[in-house]
Amino acid sequence: MFANSRQWCENRFNEAAVNAVRNCRLIVRGNVPCTLSLTSGTHKEIRECNSPQYLVNKRLMLLALVDNASSLSCSIEDPAVCNAFNDVLVGKHVDWKRAELRGCLGQVPENLDKFKDRGTSSDLYKYLMLYAHHRVRRHHLPAQEPCGKRCIEVHATSNALVVNKYGN
């Protein structure tokens, strides 16, 4: 088994994109003041809110903050924002420059690079690397030597945690 931990947790979203994730979770859980066809509430979809591709495909990036340092809000709990997002879902035009919507990004970006916090790696990634480097001992098993039912080798490379399972 090979786990590429850098791929799934090295970088994290900036605050602008985290706002879209928060709004996604509110929508999926049904905690909104208007009726949206997007509401389902499955655990799988709640987890999907962390996926950049899901946020783009479901047009949830419309609900990201207009910029990372915005003092304006964009919450699906606000009826004006909820109704505007519902209008988008049913194909209506929305003027995202209206006063009550100015904190919302109001567009689905083609590229999410500007929404990643490149300067700060994930705390989970840091923990995994610390654990791998300081807590896990690397064991070498000669190829001809049987290891019984359960033998596991775990070590960290520069960009991954590697887990090898050996046994009958």
Q: Mind listing the pLDDT tens digit for each residue in 44-75?
A: 778 888 888 899 999 999 999 998 878 899 99
d(CA 123, CA 105): 27
Please, which pLDDT band fits residue 83 given cuts at 50, 70 and 90?
Answer: very high
d(CA 26, CA 111): 24
Q: Is the pLDDT of residue 95 over 90?
A: yes
For residues 80-93, average pLDDT: 96
d(CA 58, CA 36): 12
Q: Which runs of consecutive H residues, i.e. helices, occur in 30-135? A: 43-48, 52-57, 79-89, 123-134
Q: Which residue has the higher pLDDT, 139 or 60?
A: 60
Would you state the pLDDT for residue 30? 87
